[in-house]
Amino acid sequence: MEESAIPSVLIVQLCTSLLIAVKDHSVFLTFSNLTFQSAKAKMWSLQNLLFILCITLRCVTCEAGVIYVTGYVGREVNVSCSYDEGYESYEKYLCKNDCGDSDLLITTSNSVKNKYTIHDDKTARIFTTTISDLQSTDAGKYWCGVTRTGIDIYTEVELKLVPDSCCDTVTKVQSYEGYSESVSCPYESRYHNSLKYICRGNRPSTCLQQALITSDTKQNGRFRLDDDKVLGTFTVTINSLTQNDSGSYLCGVQGNSDVDVFSAVELEVEEWCCVKAKHINGIVGNLLLLQCPYPPQHRNNSKFLCKGDQRNKCTDISMDQRVTLQDDAASSSFTVRIRYSDVHDTGTYWCGSDPQWRVGNYTKIELSVVTVRCVTCDIGRTRS
């Protein structure tokens, strides 16, 4: 267990409790429940006494140990300290530096004070102090204390503060709306069994609470998380991307004892490109011609026409005697012929040469088919 200094107030208490009685050439040294006796006073020197005192202080420090806590600047942090059975009704407190009167921050008898609150869970025998609105000056050494007759019980706490932002290096990922994209997040081998997660934004302090998905859930709507422990990488896949998915993300790995480990990703989702829009008007019963150009390299690809407001919600149009498709490789285009058009043909159509909908040349057609009133027929009916 690591050694540490003891608050000066404890040293004062120890020195006060140290009773040296010189009587009949004998020396009695009393510390708490320990009594040391020497036969002759001349056998003890000042160095002997100081040595005993130092050994005593050293043992008290070893028993306490050190609690390391890390917090984010501007946020809050919890400092939790346990105590032994029998001290449930005793007053607890948190102090700083040397733990003098001016260093006392909060006690359980006054559980809310400035930026500090304290709660004593007597069942678990743990009291927790919350420090809000952390600033750089809050970093340093603290002491959890339990008040008792004689010498208080102390536990040292070392508070470290880090910025609530991440990271120096950002991985940039670019994709298109409607696509699926995977984000890879590497981690060290010691985190194989740790919780992994991803969140939006760049604030580490709230990332886990706002996680889009974790390795415990693996699937959440459009998000899926796969953890490859052999490669030391977890991958988050986002399906059916929209431009609203653009922005900053944090890959998080839960730390074993310290703060979580993060890597930053910037995702840019662009509007699906290379679409030409056309507006075509038709009359019921007439022939309609829908012309669709395509890249020369798609000459041998299968061509298609589908109907739907969105390309990812588009129903293929079957070719039959009424609807036919004719490909003209020389002009890098194909033509869809619709005979005997009807008002039900009105709608949004998409035509292209890549059924996988990779970025390329596609045509979006807004088709309107209307019925034309026969004015001559109406005049004839009126005369008759």
pLDDT of amino acid 16: 46
**What residue type is assigned to position 383 of the chain?**
R
List residues bridging with 104 in a β-sheet. Answer: 95
Both tokens assigned to 296 = 């020369």
Helix (H) or strand (E) holding 366: strand 362-370
CATH superfamily, with its number, for domain 170-270: Immunoglobulins (2.60.40.10)
pLDDT of amino acid 298: 86
Could you give the CA distance from residue 145 to residue 131 in angstroms, rounded to a whole number? 16
Alpha-helical segments (H) within 84-224: 204-207
Quick check: do 170-270 and 278-370 share a fold? yes
Q: Report residue 248: phi and psi, to 5°.
A: -90, 140
**What residue type is assigned to position 236 of the chain?**
V
Q: How many CB atoms lie within 10 A of CB 9?
A: 20
pLDDT of amino acid 6: 58
Could you give the CA distance from residue 221 to residue 249 in angstroms, rounded to a whole number? 17
Q: Which residues of the chain have pLDDT under 50?
A: 1-4, 12, 15-64, 384
Q: Which CATH number fits domain 67-162: 2.60.40.10, 3.40.190.10, 1.10.1040.10, 1.10.3660.10?
A: 2.60.40.10
pLDDT of amino acid 48: 43
Residue with tokens 């075509």: 280
pLDDT of amino acid 179: 81
List residues bridging with 82 in a β-sheet. Answer: 126
Q: How many CB atoms lie within 10 A of CB 199?
A: 22
pLDDT of amino acid 21: 36
Q: Which CATH number fits domain 278-370: 1.10.3430.10, 2.60.40.10, 3.30.1300.10, 3.40.50.2020?
A: 2.60.40.10
Both tokens assigned to 2 = 């690591």
pLDDT of amino acid 29: 36
pLDDT of amino acid 7: 66
Instruction: Provide the residue ranges of all domains of the chain, joining segments of one domain with +.
Output: 67-162, 170-270, 278-370
pTM flag (> 0.85) = no
Could you give the CA distance from residue 91 to residue 98 in angstroms, rounded to a whole number? 19
pLDDT of amino acid 9: 54
pLDDT per position as a tens digit, 271-324: 766 678 889 999 999 999 999 998 888 889 999 999 998 877 889 999 999 999
pLDDT of amino acid 33: 38
Both tokens assigned to 143 = 């002491």
